[in-house]
Amino acid sequence: MAVTAVSGSVARPIPRLRRMEDERWLAFALLVPTAVLLGLFIAYPFVEGVLLSLNSTRVGIKGEFVGLKNFDKVWNDSIFRTSVWNTFWYTGVTTVFKLALGLWLAILLNRHFRGKALVRAFILLPFIIPTVLSTFAWKWMFDPTFSVINWTLFQLGFITQRINWLGDPDLAMTSIIIVNVWRGVPFFAISLLAGLQTISPELQEAAAIDGARPWQRFWHVTWPLLLPVTMVVVLFSVIQTFADFQLVYVMTGGGPANATHLFATYAYQLGIGTGLLSEGAAVSLAMFPFLFLIVVVQLLYIRRVETR
């Protein structure tokens, strides 16, 4: 009776509001802004990129449909092949170093010591400083004439001649790898530190009581629990490093003689520098299958670890 009385005294909601009570409509309404943003800033440029790579557009000249000709052209391009190799080498080597050094740093930072908060803040500096700015500083340190690294090595008696950091193809690649690792380690360290802090100390203590040595505690307790976080961090890092641009552009511009071009820098040189927009788009898109594969493999792995 009472229920009937209450419902009778309240005005019925207007149909529009009632529709929002339906979870499907509400979900749709809440998703629309995200879908619009994703469509506008990710799907649209991506589709435009695909269309561009399939025609013969040059700067200021609208092209016509040429199918996969641009891809065929870049596939037979020796600079492109160098860029593919460089990108894999650059991503692989830097990721290994960033992971190893980042993990090491995270474990150190996870201990208790005086000034812990300050050290953690300082560790983040390379990551906070704008890449272009810090890379310019590194460029000066590797400068063919004024390198402070060469000066120091010379003063210490380790070298008698200047090391041609950015003028030698292998050393130039090593130089950009060093800078990328320097810049990327804090991201790994802080993310892994956050992961380490979620691991209950009781698990470590229980293992220690059972007689596990530090290495065994790390390998059998810490590492398995840290793995999901590690995989996500590695995934982000691989994507970012694979598509890296600014560091190489500032340090070497892809030189000497195209020896350090990555996908992104070569696409930029072709598309924006020379004005061959479609070829540039093709180089840029060639990154996609590789990245897609890496992402799929890693996401599947993360899922497996999580459902274990």
Q: Which parts of this chain interact with another protein (CB under 8 A)?
A: 58-61, 73, 77-78, 143-146, 162, 164-169, 172, 252-259, 268-269, 271-277
User: Least distance to another protein from the beta carbon of 73, Å?
Assistant: 7
Q: Which is nearer to another protein, 53 or 252 (CB)?
A: 252
Q: Is the CB of residue 57 less than 8 Å from the CB of residue 51?
A: no
What's the 3-state SS for 116-131? Answer: HHHHHHHHCHHHHCCH
User: Least distance to another protein from the beta carbon of 232, Å?
Assistant: 34
User: Least distance to another protein from the beta carbon of 139, Å?
Assistant: 9
What is the C-alpha to C-alpha distance for residues 261 and 176, in angstroms, rounded to an integer? Answer: 11
Q: Which is nearer to another protein, 58 or 120 (CB)?
A: 58
Q: Which is nearer to another protein, 237 or 265 (CB)?
A: 265
Q: Which is nearer to another protein, 27 or 272 (CB)?
A: 272
User: Least distance to another protein from the beta carbon of 307, Å?
Assistant: 47
User: Least distance to another protein from the beta carbon of 35, Å?
Assistant: 26
With 0-12 CB in 10 A as exposed, 13-18 as middle and 19+ as buried, what is 262?
buried
User: Least distance to another protein from the beta carbon of 144, Å?
Assistant: 3
- In sequence order, the β-bridge partners of residue 61 are 58
Q: Which is nearer to another protein, 228 or 273 (CB)?
A: 273
Q: Which is nearer to another protein, 92 or 256 (CB)?
A: 256
User: Least distance to another protein from the beta carbon of 278, Å?
Assistant: 12
Q: Is the CB of residue 128 less than 8 Å from the CB of residue 182?
A: no
Q: Which is nearer to another protein, 102 or 280 (CB)?
A: 280
